Structure 1
Amino acid sequence: MVLGFAGMMFAVVVVVHYYLWRRLVRATTLPGRTRRVLTWCLVALAVLVPATMIGSRFEVAHFLAWPGFLWLAVMFYLVVFLVVLEIPRAVAAFLIRRSSPAVADKPVPVTVGAPAPPAVEEPPAVPDLVSRRLFLGRATALAAGVGALGTVGYGVRTALGDPVIEPVTVVLPKLDPRLGGLRFAVVSDIHLGPLTGIRHTERIVRMINDLRPDVVAIVGDLVDGTVAELGPLARPLKDLESRYGSFFVTGNHEYFSANGPAEWVEELGQLGVRSLRNERVEIAHGGAVLDLAGVNDLTGGDDGSDLGKALNGRDTSRSSVLLAHQPLQVREAAGFGVDLQLSGHTHGGQMVPFNLVVPFQQPAVSGLSTIDGVQVYVTRGAGFWGPPVRVGAPPEISILELRAP
């Protein structure tokens, strides 16, 4: 399965870079040294993509992360803009061919018996046609390049900037009125890794503390590496402040870590963040009690999600909030009478138009929705994965306030 996925990704990289070569190199240059140099540059960038995807998992190859992931984003948006320009480019190419016949059909008058008129040499039309095609190719490449670089530049600034604070009011039909006003700070997909520094964590902690929440919920994908590599980046989490505590559930990336999620569960415990691993706790507020449950991610295999373990045997007259990394987990949660699920995972698509693809895999992209009778809030996440780029899906920290009808 892994080899099959790797083979598919290799094929995609080859096809994409061949398309870029045709549009950015072949269509903009004549055969010669310039074309050869640009071709080899594109080959090097093609090799950089898998090298970055593999090398980013190893500390010794972290230097590949910035150039590799930035090229991945530029490559993607070059393809997007070039594909959008295909129709106007094809129309322009057709008009160029129509206006540049290869052989002139101008008639030459001839008198019978008179000597043949001297041949009049006309400049061939081919060089003119070639120059027009080069102009078209270069104009298309320039438009795509400016569009891609501008979009990626905007996306980098957004991804590395402050997360947006998203205030949300959630009305739970069964909520005890005494629990009204209970506030959850929800954050996910922080993705501590080779492209983030400790200031990334410090900023998130500071912004959460400024919200003065009752509960902090970290719903998965906190890290992209081991404690040995990234432990120092997580230490600011010890400064999180909330009335009833900070809680964490694993995401799929915790299982990608070389040492698995167990070491992070232990590390977070030492930082004052409790991991809910298919279990629940009671939040007592205003004389009433709320059940807060958390489940492991679906990708955990034998260590994966177990909603029965987390929710069976509880007092169903109480309202319940479930922390589950993937929105998809709501399908099963609906059978356990969950009132509200808090999730992440989708990044809101992170880079348009990926937001249009997410619904094929998850039932919600971002924001508050109702699925199978359960309200689900999906945060876009406070970090990024892969390219340090966010377009159309700014990073966020959400503050949810529960209300009774």
Structure 2
Amino acid sequence: MFIALFLVVVLLLVGGIHWYLWKRLVKDVVTTRRGRRVGALVVTLLGVLIPVTMVGSRVLPLEQQPVLAWPGFLWLALMFYLLVTLALLELPRLALRFWAGRREPQPVDNSVDSSVIPVDSAGRAVQGTVDGQVTAVDSPAAGVSGGAVGSAAAEGAPVDDAPVDGGPVDERFDPARRLLLGRSLAATAGVLSVAAVGIGTWQAKSAPVLKRVPIRLAKLPASMSGFKIALVSDIHLGPLLGKAHTERIVRIINSVDADVVAVVGDLVDGSVAELGPAAEPLQDLRARHGSFFVTGNHEYFSGYQEWIDEVNSLGVRVLRNERLDVQGLDLAGVNDVTGEDVGDGPDFAKALSGRDASRPVVLLAHQPVQAHEAARHGVDLQLSGHTHGGQMVPFNLLVGLEAPVVSGLGTVDGTQVYVTRGAGFWGPPVRFGAPPDISVIELHRA
């Protein structure tokens, strides 16, 4: 019942957004019936494309998914930015209408001197003379009602191409000016949205930025100053990101000569059978003290136990609510909170209890929200991902409502938390304002 209700709400939301886009991008800028019908058909098909893409990404074989994923997810991103920009442009639209409303309408002199208008014996106004004979207008209303349709027909244009009746004319804001405003705002929204999606697509498919982040820990032994942890998250292997994506990430990580490699969840969006070959390059990761992995929420949608076994087989140790000693540093890892639904959730007590409190502890946990519990167990530094840095600005503002740290370094209840933006993407192949990254955490004694 809940799922059905959720789907209804989503469909209504998608439908409402597309109605708004039709109103601003078609109704406000197209003046013919045929044009509006074509626009309505296009907007309807694009609206249907979104749920079809969502369903197809779950039921189609992986190799067939890109056929829907590319157009469907790109339109989803473009729809989002059109919605945002058009909503923001409502402010100048309202301001211009308000300004027009304050203008005094120009007085119109409707008085007519009947003495200069000849009339015939039937009382009809004489229109003119031809060879000395007068001609009259039988019905003034007929001359008006013929309107644009009549003129269009006279010119040989089909009725469907005639201008649509815009309804009552607002004398304070004439139709021509209203049309110009609608077209100008629609063009502005279109250019800005296409630019955002274009730049975001380029960023999403580009190599992750390598960030070097110095972090100071009070308990860190002086001998470990400069200890490097290569941190990567949210690789998101799937229909649009495959083996070449993994190979590029491995090359970047291996270039930094890290002491430890930490992969903090959301490696895949599919089964081992589908994506096992794409993950194989992880076996080439090089670090002095090894490579480690903790589960993210997407592993629990993709056969988590199979992936745990697969990652372990690639030489990347999965930390499942456990810790180990690395040269006087406690390195711990906990499962993602999504695992609670299948009895495989995080166990901070198991991972952190009974340790020497004088030693620094670095915790690998997929979601930044887990930092609250980490702080209660005295964690010095938590390394996380999950947020994608918002992936598409201004989504970072919404992500910030849940995550205590969206990207970069922050502090939660006295525990330092560093959140990488991740190396891949989920859903739209677009990362606007939040480019992918791989972070090199350099630990220093405070």
The answer to whether TM tops 0.5 is: yes
Q: Per-residue deviation at 1:294?
A: 0.5
Residue of structure 2 equivalent to 1:398: 439
Within the candidate set 313, 316, 331, 1:273 is matched to: 316
- Residue deviations 1:322-364 (CA, integer Å, cap 9, x gap): 0000111111111211111000011111111111111211111
Q: Secondary structure at the match of 2:200?
A: helix
Residue of structure 2 equivalent to 1:88: 92
The yes-or-no answer on 1:187 pairing with 2:200 is no
Residue of structure 2 equivalent to 1:108: 111
Residue of structure 2 equivalent to 1:299: 338
Residue of structure 2 equivalent to 1:72: 76
**Is the alpha carbon distance of 1:73 and 1:261 closer, same or farther for their aligned partners in structure 2, counting shifts above 3 Å?**
same
Q: In the comparison of the two structures, how many residue pairs are matched?
A: 396
**Is the alpha carbon distance of 1:126 and 1:314 closer, same or farther for their aligned partners in structure 2, counting shifts above 3 Å?**
closer
Q: Per-residue deviation at 1:117?
A: 6.6
Matched-pair identity in %: 56
List aligned pairs for 1:231-242, cutoff 5 A. Answer: 231-242=276-287
> Do the aligned partners of 1:187 and 1:398 also contact (CA within 8 Å) in 2?
yes
Residue of structure 1 equivalent to 2:372: 331
Residue of structure 1 equivalent to 2:407: 366
Q: Per-residue deviation at 1:11?
A: 1.9
Q: Which has the larger radius of gyration?
A: 2
- Aligned letter for 1:70? L
Residue of structure 1 equivalent to 2:220: 175
List aligned pairs for 1:1-400, cutoff 5 A. Answer: 1-60=2-61, 62=65, 63-93=67-97, 105-108=108-111, 110=113, 114=115, 116=117, 129-257=174-302, 260-284=303-327, 289-301=328-340, 302-400=343-441
Q: Per-residue deviation at 1:136?
A: 2.1
- Give the distance between the partners of 2:175 and 2:112, measured in 1 at CA: 31
- Residue deviations 1:31-79 (CA, integer Å, cap 9, x gap): 5222111111111111111111221123435021000000000000001
- Give the distance between the partners of 2:116 and 2:442, measured in 1 at CA: 100
- Residue deviations 1:80-115 (CA, integer Å, cap 9, x gap): 1101111222333456677797x972243648xx46
- Give the distance between the partners of 2:324 and 2:191, measured in 1 at CA: 52
Q: Per-residue deviation at 1:28?
A: 1.4
Q: Per-residue deviation at 1:231?
A: 1.1
- Give the distance between the partners of 1:367 and 1:320, measured in 2 at CA: 19
- Give the distance between the partners of 2:220 and 2:92, measured in 1 at CA: 57
Q: Secondary structure at the match of 2:262?
A: strand
Q: Per-residue deviation at 1:387?
A: 0.7
- Residue deviations 1:293-332 (CA, integer Å, cap 9, x gap): 1011001111011111111122222111100001111111
- Give the distance between the partners of 2:348 and 2:118, measured in 1 at CA: 96
Q: Secondary structure at the match of 2:434?
A: coil
- Residue deviations 1:369-388 (CA, integer Å, cap 9, x gap): 11111111010111111111
- Give the distance between the partners of 2:266 and 2:359, measured in 1 at CA: 29
- Give the distance between the partners of 1:24 and 1:93, measured in 2 at CA: 18
- Give the distance between the partners of 2:337 and 2:31, measured in 1 at CA: 53
- Give the distance between the partners of 1:374 and 1:87, measured in 2 at CA: 42
- Give the distance between the partners of 1:278 and 1:247, measured in 2 at CA: 12
- Aligned letter for 2:397? L
**Is the alpha carbon distance of 1:206 and 1:115 closer, same or farther for their aligned partners in structure 2, counting shifts above 3 Å?**
closer
- Aligned letter for 1:29? V
Q: Secondary structure at the match of 1:56?
A: helix
Q: Per-residue deviation at 1:195?
A: 1.0
> Do the aligned partners of 1:278 and 1:296 also contact (CA within 8 Å) in 2?
yes
- Give the distance between the partners of 1:115 and 1:333, measured in 2 at CA: 94
- Aligned letter for 2:13? V
Q: Secondary structure at the match of 2:275?
A: helix
- Give the distance between the partners of 1:90 and 1:376, measured in 2 at CA: 43
